[in-house]
Amino acid sequence: MKSEQLELKENLKDIRFDEIIIMFGFNKGEYLECLKESICEKNKVYIIEPNDNEYEQYKGKINDKSISLISINDENLDFILSEIINSKTFLNFNVQIYENYDVLYEEEWIKLKTLIDSLYNKCSVYLSTMETFKKITLENILSNLNEINYSYKFDSYINVNKNVPCIIVSAGPSLDENLEVMVENKDKLDKFFIIAGNRTLKPLLENGIKPDVVISVDPQDITYDMLKDDFYANVPLIYCEKSNCKLVRDYEGKTIVVSQGALNSIENLKDMIVCMSGGSVAHTCTDIAFLLGCNPIVFVGQDFAYTNEKNHALVARNKIDSEFNKEECIIIKDINGKDIYSCDILNLYKENLENMLKLYTQLNKDIEFKNASYGANIDYAKHEELSNILNYNYKEKKVNIDDIGENISINTEEIIISINKYLNETKNNIKKSKEICENILRQPNQDNIMQFGLVLKCIDDFMKNENNIYIEGYISSFLVYIKEKLFSMKSSEYDKLSKDIIYQCKIFREYMNDLDELLSEILEVVEKF
């Protein structure tokens, strides 16, 4: 066995039974037998090959369902990797470089490493957000169910402003300059469908510009404070099920609800379009503009950077804002290709928006995105001065969405009862599952061992129930926690321990104890409604 293969075997000796392995370099598959000796049937291996000739020679020839060969130049590599590295696996994958492939194919390795790092960061941010906001998100969803019957269904506005130009007003540092241009050209703004976010409604109104909608998807109370002085403004509010419930309840204008997934579990709302998100309200605004049919879509105040060493426009600053700190920054490229300060989270938001714009251009080859901001370069959104954009001769006239819309009718009480029933039935099944585990541990016999399948069924039924979309934040956090706590079995131990009923019962007894505590925590919230 070659030294490189011995090194690979050493690197993989302690991998978990379900760990994902990403190999950079196939090298004619000379290490495949060594690799197979190191994994079990639950491991998955993805070999990324940078040499096109070698990929073409060996693709489809690996006779093992656990091992896949992928070309670094596959046009769907981003998507393929996103299926491999997600919120359930991001703490459970292992990257290996065979021999000196990272030196021989340095450019390809940097490409792969950058993609993996980006996906890891996305998963980390997603799970951190889920954990931080799981309680307030559930409270918002349950409260907003009461408001949906007084709102309009966003789906009734699809393509109502087809080919109408749209301006999405964000609160980045560039907004100060962009807003001056908008004020100077107020007479031209009637041609545009203007979308404001939480921070930007107030400065627009204070400068005599009334947007066509304001969009708020943030669950926190601070969004209420940002908008409360302008409830009277008669600007339609687009919100989602997770939006701050106080804001939705007290808003005086027309309210329009869009789904971000949870509403689709409700019987007569299953066909609702799910609005895309990417970490900030700007992503939702962009998807709303696209679904309305707007074209071109223009970004103002969308910096994704600390332009002029500011984190927000002066007209949109808030007491919660932190001060600019150069030591926490990264360097990215601005609209002119020069260095500009940003941070990991802003850069992640930028990448998320770029992925959305890439998708939109694939769905509609005629759509245009224009960046009138002065911060980071945004792929698929070429920079253009706002003064030029405002002076084009746009032909389509916008439709006032305040005048149209389809009402919604749901049975809120029935939905709450269903969620309660789901949680309480699961708690009862957990109790039975723990009894089965205890009986087996106390005195294993054929009869009680045969019942162990009910323990696994309890978990399966809980995870697959459509009501779990309401508690997505709790479940996401729980799965990461429980994986780290209980499921650390090595691949080398899998054949033995997966058949050891005593070991399995100990693991799943602990699992059920933790799941029971989780459901008690969730029920404390649900029972208030």
Render pLDDT for 306-323 as a digit per residue (tens, 0 to 9). 998 887 878 766 666 667
DSSP string, 356-405: HHHHHHHH-TT--EEE--SSB-BTTBEE--HHHHHTS---PPPP-GGG--
Angstrom distance (rounded) from CA 259 to CA 235:
20
Q: What is the pLDDT of residue 178?
A: 97
Q: Are strands 406-407 and 152-153 parallel, antiparallel or unpaired?
A: antiparallel
Render pLDDT for 1-32 as a digit per residue (tens, 0 to 9). 578 888 888 899 999 999 999 999 999 888 99
The average pLDDT across 88-93 equals: 88
Neighbours of 206 (CB within 10 A): 11
Mean pLDDT over all residues of the chain? Answer: 93
Token couple for 307? 């332009």
pTM for this one? 0.90
Q: What is the pLDDT of residue 128?
A: 92
Q: What is the pLDDT of residue 318?
A: 67
Beta bridge partners of 24: 48, 97
Angstrom distance (rounded) from CA 362 to CA 339:
30
* CATH class of this structure's domain 3-123: alpha beta
Give me the residue spans of the domains in the chain. 3-123, 152-407, 412-527
